[in-house]
Structure 1
Amino acid sequence: MAKQPMLKFVQIERTMPEKRDASLRKEDFHEIYAEYAKAKAEEQASRCSQCGVPYCQTHCPLHNNIPDWLRLTASGRLEEAYELSQATNTFPEICGRICPQDRLCEGNCVIEQSGHGTVTIGAVEKYITDTAWENGWVKPAAPAQERDESVGIIGAGPGGLAAADMLRRAGIKVTVYDRYDRAGGLLTYGIPGFKLEKDVVMRRVEQLEQSGVEFVQDCDVDADIFAAIHAEHDAVIVATGVYKSRDLAMPGVGLDGIERAIDYLTASNRKSFGDAVEEFDSGRLNAEGKRVVVIGGGDTAMDCVRTAIRQGATSVKCLYRRDRANMPGSQREVANAEEEGVVFEWLSAPKGFTGEDRVNGVMVHKMRLGQPDASGRQMPEVIEGADYVEEADLVIKALGFEPEDLPTLFGQPELPVTRWGTVKAQFQTGATEMDGVYAIGDIVRGASLVVWAIRDGRDCAQAILERFDAPMAVAAE
């Protein structure tokens, strides 16, 4: 009888891949976790309990077949594990790196609930696909039959790329239009290299190009361009994401030295490509030698504080109006940031900024948590008489993102939007009330996770294929 490769969570403790020491990793933008060795990946995958109701799979937006590819990994059948992983997830090596597993699959692992420590699902997922790339198992799509239909996709972020991949596998002609000079959207310009090194994204873009996907870069879609795209293609997918930064209305907000998170992160990521970035080179979007204050408590704020550390800031502080337990960002990221020297000022909110022409401080309200609001979260309340000034040379606003006014931008007043400005689209299909126009990802959901954008892109592609009466291609190579 073959030896049971699974259910070893009692004998084997949870072990993450080795994490680089904070004193070393804060000196560069390389990823902070090493890769599992083959034996260690098999060992950690073998901790899976293979439970009858896999909550890890249920709580994954893509419903990845996690217990199955963990079992295959534990058995040394890595190519099969990759094929199974790729069948439900267009970019498993990306999700393995940046998904908040502590809030999704790993946070709902049955053995975690029983006190044995969750299976390291994200690290194993990353290992499987990185191994697949190394061994040449990842190949460009080769459709069995080319079709006459074409789809235009506006936005080259994770949702748009996922849809492009699925459509191209079925033989559909796909053209992706994007405002930036490189595809990837926030994967390329929003997420720092220490979480997602850029060659990981670029090789996926190259794979799509090799599959026959056409990219039109530096294309800022306006009314004329949208009309041309709509006329040229049999269907259009709007996958623009949300890039309009939320702002503050308070004294001093217009001072120099107060910047938007998206501008700050984009400048840093462009430098990682070796681009000439005037705003960075001039010092405006460079934290070197500065006292930095980041306002916000989400994942973007975590990206900003950890980037500032690596740029050589003299101090980095993060202001968040609630406490640690109620912050929206990943607790894993908070811990990493603290290890690297970031100071979190919990229950703190800005009330204004000091300075003449340039900011030199943030006026801070100290807060306490009061009664719950309609969502059940305790509302922050100002503690009277506890204000103070936090000295700062650079303030970064990481307050979240809102949608642009697409009906006006695209010259399509009939494009339906919600009261929040997001595009109204059908659940699962992404279809809008405009014939042949679909919308997916953050422009429908509001600012959300990469994994949800991938899910939307795949679902929308399937709906379009059904509309074209085209067979769905198998996702795995």
Structure 2
Amino acid sequence: MAKQPMLKFVSVDRDMPEKRAAENRKEDFNEIYAEFAAQKAAEQASRCSQCGVPYCQSHCPLHNNIPDWLRMTATGRLKEAYALSQSTNTFPEICGRICPQDRLCEGNCVIEQSGHGTVTIGAVEKYITDTAWENGWVEDITPAADRSEKVAIIGAGPGGLAAADVLVRAGVKVTVYDRHDRAGGLLTYGIPGFKLEKDVVMRRVKLLEDAGVEFVLNCNVGEDITFQDIRAQNDAVLLATGVYKGRDLSGPGAGADGIVPALDYLTCSNKLSFGDTVPEYESGELNAEGKNVVVIGGGDTAMDCVRTAIRQGAKSVKCLYRRDRANMPGSQRETQNAEEEGVEFVWLSAPKGFTGNPVNGVIVQKMRLGAPDASGRRSPEVIEGSDYTEDADLVIKALGFEPEDLPTLWGEKDLPVTRWGTVKAAFETHQTDLDGVWAVGDIVRGASLVVWAIRDGREAAASILDSLSATAAVAAE
């Protein structure tokens, strides 16, 4: 009888790829996790219990067929594992690196509930696709029979790129507009290289370019081209702009020099990784070297900022968050990585004001957790008389992001938005009430995960294709 290749979670312990020592990794922006070797990837994949109801799959926004590609990996069928992974996910190697698996697939792994430690799904997903690239299994995109329809996508982030992939494969002519000088959105300029090296993103962009997707970069819609012209020139338009407007700070001194938005800081650092010259870095404005750095916020963007500051040679790096560790929104894995690298977390703390101009200190007020709010999380309350001052030469605001006022920026008052400024779109089709216009990702959801943007982009592209086909059928009658 053939040996059982799976269900080895009882005899094989959970094991992640080797992580570079903190003292070494904080000296550069390279990814911190090594690759699995083939034997180790197969071993870890074999721990999957192949349960009848795969919660890992149902809790993945893309509903990736995780149990099947784990089994294929365990039995050496890597090329098939990649094909299956790619069938539901446009960018599996990116999701394998940056998805918060602890909150999604791995956090719902059945064997985790039984005390055996979750299957390392993200690391295996990354290994499968990196192996596919190395072996030439990632094939060029060959569009189906050319179609005459043209679709414009505004925003070259994960949602826009995922939609472009589906559309160009169907033979549609796709043009992607983006304000930056490189495609990728937050994948390129918002996420540091130690989590996602930039060649991983650029090779996907090149795959789309080679398939015929046209990228119009350094283009601000509403300034360099009107939204109305884009609509007039195309059969459909997809909005995938993301949310880039950082939430601001209040309090005395909040406008002082040296208090900077997180995205400006991360974009500067990522441009340096491409070899660009960035005046704001050269001047010291967005450079943490030798400075006492305070980052305000507790999400993944805050984690990216503190770890970037460490790599830039900051004198000290502290992260202020108004709740405790258990209630922070960011990944616990990223928090641990930051602590290993020398970041100090100051829990239950919030800024009350700032001293100096340029800034030289943050007036901190201590907090305690009170009764739960509408979301069920305990609300932070100020402890009166607990104020003190933290030294700070650079303060980074990582308080989350809000949508820009697109109807005003684009002169399109009929673009439907919610009271929060996000675009209104149908849940399943992602179509807006504006004829021929769809919307996906953070501009609809608010700041969310890359994997949700990918799902939205794929679904919207399918909806656009259905609409184009229906229009063509009517025209042919």
Does the TM-score normalized on the shorter chain lie above 0.5? yes
Deviation at residue 60 of structure 1 after TM alignment: 0.4
Per-residue Cα deviation, 1:182-237 (whole angstroms, up to 9, x for no partner): 00000000000000000000000000001111100111000752111101110000
Deviation at residue 144 of structure 1 after TM alignment: 2.9
Deviation at residue 425 of structure 1 after TM alignment: 0.3
Residue 14 of structure 2 is matched in structure 1 by 14
Whole-angstrom CA distance in 2 between matches of 1:245 and 1:298: 13
Q: Which is further off, 105-114 or 142-151?
A: 142-151
Whole-angstrom CA distance in 2 between matches of 1:328 and 1:352: 24
What percent identity do the matched residue pairs reach?
78
Whole-angstrom CA distance in 2 between matches of 1:239 and 1:149: 19
Residue 464 of structure 1 is matched in structure 2 by 464
Residue 199 of structure 2 is matched in structure 1 by 199
Whole-angstrom CA distance in 2 between matches of 1:438 and 1:412: 14
Per-residue Cα deviation, 1:289-326 (whole angstroms, up to 9, x for no partner): 00000000000000000000000001000000000000
Show structure 1 runs of 4+ deviating over 4 A.
Answer: none
Residue 392 of structure 1 is matched in structure 2 by 392
TM-score relative to the length of structure 2: 0.98
* Aligned: 1:258 with 2:266: no
Superposition pairs of residues 416-427 of structure 1, within 5 angstroms: 416-427=416-427
Structure 2 counterpart of 1:311, which letter? Answer: Q
3-state SS of 1:411 partner: coil
CA RMSD of aligned residues (A): 0.8
* Aligned: 1:270 with 2:271: yes
Residue 404 of structure 1 is matched in structure 2 by 404
Deviation at residue 411 of structure 1 after TM alignment: 1.1
Deviation at residue 428 of structure 1 after TM alignment: 2.1
- Which stretches in structure 2 are left out of the alignment for 5+ residues? 471-477
Residue 322 of structure 2 is matched in structure 1 by 321
Deviation at residue 410 of structure 1 after TM alignment: 1.2
Whole-angstrom CA distance in 2 between matches of 1:271 and 1:449: 25
Residue 231 of structure 1 is matched in structure 2 by 232
3-state SS of 2:9 partner: coil
- Which stretches in structure 1 are left out of the alignment for 5+ residues? 471-477
Structure 1 counterpart of 2:338, which letter? Answer: A
Structure 2 counterpart of 1:332, which letter? Answer: R
Structure 1 counterpart of 2:283, which letter? Answer: S
Whole-angstrom CA distance in 2 between matches of 1:264 and 1:403: 19
3-state SS of 1:462 partner: helix
Deviation at residue 455 of structure 1 after TM alignment: 0.3
* Aligned: 1:135 with 2:135: yes
Whole-angstrom CA distance in 2 between matches of 1:250 and 1:437: 40
Whole-angstrom CA distance in 2 between matches of 1:134 and 1:361: 49
Whole-angstrom CA distance in 1 between matches of 2:215 and 2:464: 20
Residue 248 of structure 1 is matched in structure 2 by 249
Whole-angstrom CA distance in 2 between matches of 1:261 and 1:342: 16
Residue 32 of structure 1 is matched in structure 2 by 32
Structure 2 counterpart of 1:256, which letter? Answer: D
* Aligned: 1:332 with 2:342: no
Structure 2 counterpart of 1:141, which letter? Answer: I
Per-residue Cα deviation, 1:433-468 (whole angstroms, up to 9, x for no partner): 000000000000000000000000000001111112
Structure 2 counterpart of 1:266, which letter? Answer: T
3-state SS of 2:361 partner: strand
Whole-angstrom CA distance in 1 between matches of 2:38 and 2:57: 23
* Aligned: 1:353 with 2:330: no
TM-score relative to the length of structure 1: 0.98
Whole-angstrom CA distance in 2 between matches of 1:266 and 1:165: 25
3-state SS of 1:9 partner: helix
Structure 1 counterpart of 2:453, which letter? Answer: A
Whole-angstrom CA distance in 2 between matches of 1:52 and 1:410: 50
Deviation at residue 385 of structure 1 after TM alignment: 1.2
Structure 2 counterpart of 1:234, which letter? Answer: D
Residue 475 of structure 2 is matched in structure 1 by none
Residue 158 of structure 1 is matched in structure 2 by 158
Aligned length: 469
Whole-angstrom CA distance in 1 between matches of 2:93 and 2:226: 34
3-state SS of 1:364 partner: strand
Structure 1 counterpart of 2:377, which letter? Answer: R
Residue 474 of structure 1 is matched in structure 2 by none
Deviation at residue 172 of structure 1 after TM alignment: 0.8
